């Protein structure tokens, strides 16, 4: 007779044993579990609500896979990709190049949960997480492989993380830290709770909606399918936080405050420009800020409140950054477009500008004036003056350009000396993150550190582009060949 799941589930996921040949602390070193011997008992309370069995998991995942594949072949047959808007396509290049290998890194993180997590229930759930993330990386590769014949940029789904492209280095720097190097407790707070449960909603819900509106049904469907897995395995963050609040609440506060800021900065470059500039105007659902407020900020505030944590000390500065950071990163990435592997859309035609003004009341004063300079140069046939000759200085925490965290008026330097080396930061917050655990961040050399250190030869923009692996067939340029700037020609003449 078959037992009901409730009759056997607890036995299956609580499988554990007492070590006799080795010490428990050798089998589960604190370096990897994140849990010292003194609090080991508290982790017995760790629980998850999913009650998933392997049999059910396989059945449901198989259905999801068939759904994705059916849409994929229908869309390929219909030749949908060739009809997509150039601005929208840039968002998919950016996504595939920066996300595919993060999915693969997540497999390693989940495998660490399987082996070292401080509760057998968590280790059990890690198995499903590993299978999820394997599926995500494979789906991204499959999608990109299908489209390779239309654009070599899809090769970057696999290639990007094997290059030194500066934006990819920033992404890699963050995920190497929170996925590949962090102990289980730290990884589940930073990666599961903050990134997977929070920030991936921008990428997988907001971008999926924009992609659907843009007619990119295949990509939209792929993103949504991935998100159904994230919504499940991201839950390991909650029981982890619950136990940590019993054993070490100060650590919980610091870990989440650091992870929240670092995620904010990363998604300001990964998703902010895609939502507010690349997506065609009539297909935009929400602004990046609106989406952040509804899906990330409210969410995060609720978690902090529910678990008895305080808002981060930097909350006001964060809100200021929400108004500005991704606009700064957008104008920066557009200006340094030869250093990208996608073609950014400027997104500042007159109609688009009106939308930006409405969504961001300070936009004109901060960013519009700078775009006016660029527009003038474009229309005076001085494209050369809209291209970079040098590299921007970079933050030693986020690896993003200094001056890209707040408004154009907030440029006071943030620097410190640690073990005789000078470190620079994009904000007071990033400096604070560094100070919480300097050994964790010190030593890494940013792109500019490498440039100054003589690793990039010849020491000019050409040498830097070669070092980044950027070949002419993928190198970034304006998505519409500057056609949007014509909007301003007649106005100036009249
Ligand atoms: Mn994933
Ligand atoms: Mn995940």
Looking at all shown ligands, the one closest to residue 195's CA atom is 2
**Residue 11 resides in a domain:** no
Helix and strand numbers (H, E) in the chain are: 26, 2
**Residue 14 resides in a domain:** no
Looking at all shown ligands, the one closest to residue 179's CA atom is 2
CA of 230 to the centre of ligand 2 (A): 5
Range of 233's domain? 38-493
Q: What is the pLDDT of residues 27-68, one digit of tens each?
A: 999 999 999 888 888 999 999 888 888 999 999 999 999 999
Give the SS3 label for residue 401.
Answer: strand
Q: Are strands 421-425 and 414-418 parallel, antiparallel or unpaired?
A: antiparallel
- Structural domain count, the chain: 1
d(CA 375, CA 370): 9
Split at pLDDT 50, 70, 90, the class of 492 is: low
* C-alpha gyration radius of the chain: 23
Q: What is the pLDDT of residues 460-483, one digit of tens each?
A: 889 999 999 999 999 999 999 999
Task: Give 394's strand partners.
Answer: 401
Q: Which helix (H) or strand (E) holds 254?
A: helix 249-270
Q: What is the pLDDT of residues 426-447, one digit of tens each?
A: 999 999 999 999 999 999 998 8
CA of 65 to the centre of ligand 1 (A): 14
First to last CA, the chain: 86
CA of 381 to the centre of ligand 2 (A): 46
491 pLDDT exceeds 70? no
CA 75, 231, 169 angle in degrees (round to 5)?
Answer: 75
**Cβ count within 10 A of residue 11:** 9
136 pLDDT exceeds 70? yes
- The two tokens of residue 131 are 């299978």
- Average pLDDT of the chain is 93
Question: Residue 379 is part of a domain; what is its CATH number?
Answer: 1.10.620.20
d(CA 319, CA 431): 18
Return the pLDDT at 494: 43
CA of 234 to the centre of ligand 1 (A): 9
**Residue 52 resides in a domain:** yes
Q: What is the DSSP letter of 362?
A: T
**Residue 98 resides in a domain:** yes
Whether the bond into 458 is cis, omega within 30 of 0: yes
Looking at all shown ligands, the one closest to residue 231's CA atom is 2
Beta-carbon contacts of residue 429 (< 8 Å; ≥ 6 apart): 261, 314, 317, 318, 405
Note the Cα 157 to chain centre separation in Å.
Answer: 14
User: Which residue in this structure is represented by tokens 């792929």?
Assistant: 222
d(CA 33, CA 187): 10
**Residue 30 resides in a domain:** no
**Residue 20 resides in a domain:** no
Whether the CB-CB separation of 314 and 261 falls below 8 Å is answered with: yes
**Residue 22 resides in a domain:** no
Return the pLDDT at 6: 82
**Residue 24 resides in a domain:** no
Whether the CB-CB separation of 97 and 155 falls below 8 Å is answered with: no
Task: Give 416's strand partners.
Answer: 423
Comparing C-alpha atoms, which of 60, 75, 66 is closest to residue 147?
Answer: 75
Q: Tell me which residues have their CB within 5 A of the ion that is ligand 1.
A: 103, 133, 136
Whether the CB-CB separation of 156 and 96 falls below 8 Å is answered with: yes
Q: What is the pLDDT of residues 363-420, one digit of tens each?
A: 999 999 999 999 999 999 999 999 988 888 999 999 999 999 999 998 889 999 999 9
């Amino acid at each position: 007779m078959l037992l009901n799941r409730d009759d056997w589930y607890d036995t299956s996921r609580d499988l554990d044993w007492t070590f006799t040949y080795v010490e428990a602390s050798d089998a589960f070193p604190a370096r990897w579990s994140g849990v010292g011997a003194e609090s080991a008992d508290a982790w017995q309370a760790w629980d998850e609500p999913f009650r998933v069995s392997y049999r059910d998991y396989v059945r449901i995942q198989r259905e999801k896979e068939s759904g994705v594949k059916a849409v994929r072949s229908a869309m390929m047959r219909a030749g949908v990709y060739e009809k997509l808007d150039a601005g929208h396509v840039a968002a998919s290049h950016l996504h595939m190049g920066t996300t595919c290998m993060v999915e693969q890194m997540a497999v390693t993180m989940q495998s660490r949960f399987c082996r070292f997590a401080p509760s057998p229930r968590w280790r059990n759930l890690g198995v499903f997480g590993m299978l999820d993330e394997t599926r995500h990386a494979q789906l991204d590769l499959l999608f990109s492989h299908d489209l390779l014949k239309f654009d070599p940029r899809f090769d970057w789904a696999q290639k990007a993380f094997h290059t030194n492209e500066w934006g990819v280095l920033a992404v890699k720097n963050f995920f190497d830290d929170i996925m590949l190097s962090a102990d289980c407790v730290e990884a589940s707070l930073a990666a599961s709770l903050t990134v997977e449960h929070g920030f991936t909603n921008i990428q997988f819900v907001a971008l999926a909606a924009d992609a659907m509106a843009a007619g990119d049904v295949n990509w939209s469907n792929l993103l949504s399918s991935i998100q159904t897995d994230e919504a499940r395995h991201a839950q390991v963050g909650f029981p982890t936080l619950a136990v940590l609040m019993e054993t070490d609440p100060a650590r919980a506060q610091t870990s989440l405050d650091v992870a929240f800021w670092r995620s904010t900065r990363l998604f300001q470059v990964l998703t902010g420009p895609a939502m507010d500039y690349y997506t065609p105007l009539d297909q935009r659902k929400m602004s990046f800020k609106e989406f952040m407020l509804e899906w990330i900020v409210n969410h995060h505030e609720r978690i902090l409140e529910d678990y008895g944590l305080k808002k981060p000390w930097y909350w006001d500065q964060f809100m200021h950054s929400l108004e500005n950071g991704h606009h700064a990163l957008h104008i920066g990435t557009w200006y340094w477009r030869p250093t990208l592997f996608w073609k950014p859309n400027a997104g500042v035609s007159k109609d688009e500008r009106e939308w930006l003004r409405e969504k961001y009341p300070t936009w004109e004063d901060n960013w519009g004036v700078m775009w006016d300079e660029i527009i003038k140069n474009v229309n005076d046939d001085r494209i050369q003056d809209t291209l970079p000759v040098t590299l921007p200085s970079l933050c030693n925490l986020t690896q993003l350009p200094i001056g890209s965290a707040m408004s154009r008026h907030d440029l006071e330097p943030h620097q410190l000396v640690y073990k005789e080396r000078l470190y620079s930061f994009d904000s007071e917050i990033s400096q604070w993150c560094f100070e919480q655990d300097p050994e964790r961040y010190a030593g890494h050399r940013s792109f500019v550190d490498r440039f100054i250190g003589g690793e990039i030869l010849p020491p000019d923009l050409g040498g830097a582009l070669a070092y980044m692996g950027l070949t002419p067939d993928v190198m970034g340029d304006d998505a519409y060949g500057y056609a949007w700037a014509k909007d301003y020609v007649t106005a100036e003449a009249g």
